[in-house]
Structure 1
Amino acid sequence: MAISLLTVNTFSSPLSRTSNAPRLSAADESFLEDLSRRSFRYFLEQTHPDTGLTLDRARADGSIHNENQRHTASIAATGFGLTALCIAAERGWIEPEEARERVRTALRFFAGRAPHERGWFYHWMDWRNGERRWQSELSSIDTALLLNGMLTARGYFRHDREIVRLATVIYERIDFRWILNGHPTLLSHGWYPDRGFIKHRWDTYSEQLSLLLLAIGSPAHPITPGAWRAWERKRITYANFTYMHAHPPLFIHQYSHAWVDFRNRRENWYPFTDYFENSVKATHAHKAFCLDLSDEFPGYTENVWGITASDSAKGYVAWGGPPRHPRIDGTVVPCAAGGSLMFTPDIALPALRT
């Protein structure tokens, strides 16, 4: 109900859902089918059979991580994995019953065994048993990404009573009002059992759009719809593209769109933001930003570009731009262009092919 009210009161009526995206050739379709299917294998192979938890990272050459990273799962990766199971079942990459049982395994674990506080889960867990890893926080955004996958599975397997029941129990258990930590509208980034709430809040544009929708639409612990308007909307201009932006990594413009279709919807107050078009502009600006670095890093070319948070030779870096992150070293992160395929297939597809 709250999400329906938010849509009515916040966004103008959707326009026609026709797309201006270029028509894909048979060769493009074949390439994307192969790439998508092979990408799905990460979730198939890197998810624990007893918990449904998906590893935070794995090496492309199959070599073993050090002990500190070897068994560490990410609840966000698990949410993407649950979504991937639905796609795989629909596209015939996996038997529907196998996908269904894998979803059940994860939901049973999170409903009954995973440690939580008022429904919120730890960012990183031991994939074998769910124990907290790396002294991580109860993460508001990562719990939301996990929940996105659970609710996707609930919708896809809507005739499976156990899946529907468990996903609903998990959603209704999450206390969104508690994570406000006394603020009327701005959610905290998370909570530590020994230090309490993280002081940072979701107070500017970032990857939190789906978190807010889940919080406002919660059937048990909703926050006010006014929370949608409470955060700051900074805008920048780069290469003649003006768009909402606050942090360097490109993924902030991508993640929520994996589950929420923002196409042809605009906020009903100035500057009437269309979040889908905002991500289109952000991607074009980001490509231009990479090409502007080509004198320093000749590896950036017309079809070789993209920087977003990733591992690097020096460890994990939340880099991107514009503005320029100080640790940029010429690395290309393929998922930067890949994550914008839905926004800008005309430039993302050639980048993926290169």
Structure 2
Amino acid sequence: MKAKLLLLLCLLPGFLTAQQKPAPKKAPQTTKFDPRQRPRNLTDEQLLDQVQRQTFRYFWDFGHPVSGMARERSNVAYEYGSEVVTTGGTGFGVMAIIVAADRKWITREEAAARILKIVKFLEKSDSFHGVFPHWLNGATGKVIRFSQKDDGADLVETSFLFEGLICARQYFTQETKTEQELRNRILWLWEGVEWSWHTQGGQNVLYWHWSPNNGWSMNHQIHGWNECLITYVLAASSPKFAIDKKVYDQGWATGDYFKNGKEFYKTKLPLGFDYGGPLFFSHYSFLGLDPRGLKDQYADYMQQNQAHTRINYAYCVDNPKKYKGYGPNSWGLTASDSYKGYAAHSPTEDLGVISPTAALSAMPYAPAESMAALKHFYHDLGDNIWSEYGFVDGFSEHHNWYAKSHLAIDQGPIVVMIENHRTGLLWKLFMSSPDVQRGLTKLGFESPQIKK
């Protein structure tokens, strides 16, 4: 489901989308798997390995057989069929594949070949001024309409895609034929993205969508604070179609919910919605962007993400609605499936649903609290929520509901953010890009990783 809808919907109490319509048919698995068989007596490092590796299978075993791209979700829902692949989720999946190669769960050659397959598919797929749609048909590369007018370019999903591809270009630096070709093809795609086109004729703001059939009619300006910081950073980093700093200052940093400054549970929140909103705001942009020491005139982004996480955690421990199962070992509210459909879970939109990706992807911000949640999910709730692709998308002990589904945009951050906590791998790769460093400098950011 689309992250962009949540920017508005997370403010609407009681919001739920249409009911899911899971189909029993799944893509064939490469190996038989009994989710009840979970290795026990693991050290913390072994447990992190186990969770990352199992979650990675979503992108490796369940990747689309033609394109290699990440499927939107593991079940068929919303009557879109089984061919739906997601551009943003694929970017997250590319980063998960890099983790798998670096940890030698697959070979470097296998990883490079799979990502090259994805890139070659993207070259032939529908794009609009170099910008990809949110959904593609994984077999044909044709756009799959997300909504009636959302049938063209999606700038935010494209930024998530290139967050991953830039990491791949920085990782696969060997002079083999495959790695050379991969770097070249990623560069061609990257140089072709017309970020500046999405200022709609030179306005000082980026627009989310453009369609060859509907033009700018969706008229969705991208304001902060939410998951879209990465979109402005990459737009400023573009080698051929970059935006100016004034687009960042007058577009991104002037949203109605950009600055906050209030305290919640004795924690001051610099930016964003009251109580912080869904936790994915502090995940998606920071799969690649290293928040450690990352500052600009508006915020210290490690402080922002830690505050957001602490507030979310404190709310779940406080549990004002008295839901069964909430507590120090079971916390984390973010957008995910729920017992009534897809919802933007947050302290102001609390339906009693815990989303495992919320706490696990917060590992760099609250390592002790995240590890406690991971152990509880795995050891105590695993019979209900552990599967062939890691943890399911959500659960509610209060409603005795446990999802059967997985979503690419939720599984990817688990692998990536746990790795960033452990080694900083994806942060180092993304921040080492000269284009990214130039873009960050242009926007006025400071970071220990920016070369002077």
TM-score where L is the length of structure 1: 0.85
8 Å CA contact 1:294, 1:301 repeated in 2: no
Which runs of 5 or more residues in structure 2 are unaligned?
1-41, 377-452
Say yes or no: does 1:249 pair with 2:240. Answer: no
Q: In 2, are the aligned partners of 1:208 and 1:256 still within 8 Å (CA)?
A: yes
Q: In structure 1, what is the equivalent of residue 163 of structure 2?
A: 148
Superposed displacement of residue 71, structure 1: 2.0
Report SS of the residue matched to 2:344. coil
One-letter amino acid of the counterpart of residue 89, structure 1? A
CA distance in 2, matches of 1:71, 1:298: 37
Q: Could you say what secondary structure the match of 2:67 adopts? A: coil
**Contact 1:56 / 1:73 at 8 angstroms: preserved in 2?**
yes
Structure 1 SS opposite 2:312: helix
1:299 alignment partner, one of 308, 325, 331: 325
Is contact 1:294-1:300 (8 Å) kept? no
Q: What residue number does 2:315 align with?
A: 289
* Percent of residue pairs identical: 29
**Match of residue 249 from structure 2:** 229
Give the Cα separation in 1 of the matches to 2:103 and 2:248.
Answer: 35
Q: Given the alignment of the two structures, is residue 350 of structure 1 paired with residue 372 of structure 2, yes or no?
A: yes
1:238 aligned residue: 264
Query: 2: CA distance between counterparts of 1:153 and 1:98?
Result: 13
Deviations 1:15-69 (A, max 9, x none): xxxxxxxxxxx8211110111111111110221232122101115xxxx667524
Q: Look up the match of 1:194.
A: 213
Q: Matched residue of 1:172: which SS?
A: helix
Q: What is the CA-CA distance between 1:226 and the residue it aligns to? A: 2.9
Select the residue among 136, 144, 163 that pairs with 1:133. 144
Give the letter for the 2:165 counterpart: M
Q: 1:156 and 1:257 mapped to 2: Cα distance?
A: 18
Q: CA RMSD in A?
A: 1.8
- Distance of 1:172 and 1:65 partners within structure 2: 35
* One of 36, 40, 54 as aligned partner of 2:70: 54
Name which of 303, 307, 326 aligns with 1:277. 303
Q: Give the length in aligned residue pairs.
A: 317
> Contact 2:332 / 2:354 at 8 angstroms: preserved in 1?
yes
Aligned counterparts of 2:320 and 2:328: Cα–Cα separation in 1 = 10
Partner AA of 2:110 in structure 1: E
Give the Cα separation in 1 of the matches to 2:113 and 2:333: 36
Other-structure match for 1:77: 89
Tell me the amino acid that sits aligned with residue 38 of structure 1.
Q
Counterparts of 2:203 and 2:154, CA distance in 1:
19
- 2:341 maps to a residue whose letter is G
Q: Once the 2 structures are TM-superposed, how far is the Cα of residue 191 of structure 1 from its aligned partner?
A: 1.8
**Alpha carbons 2:345, 2:351 under 8 Å: kept:** no
Query: Tell me, which stretches of 5 or more residues in structure 1 are unaligned?
Result: 1-25
- Residue 317 of structure 1 aligns to a residue whose secondary structure is strand
Structure 2 letter corresponding to 1:306: G
Q: Distance in 2 between matches of 1:345 and 1:69?
A: 38
**Of residues 210, 216, 233 in structure 1, which corresponds to 2:236?**
216
Query: 3-state DSSP class of the match of 2:221?
Result: coil
- Structure-2 change in CA distance of 1:312 and 1:295 (3 Å): closer
Aligned counterpart, 1:331: 353
Q: Do the aligned residues in 1 keep the contact of 2:265 with 2:314 (CA within 8 Å)?
A: yes
CA distance in 1, matches of 2:364, 2:54: 18
- Give the TM-score, by structure 2 length: 0.67
Q: What does residue 107 of structure 2 align with?
A: 95
- Cα drift, residue 167 of structure 1: 0.5
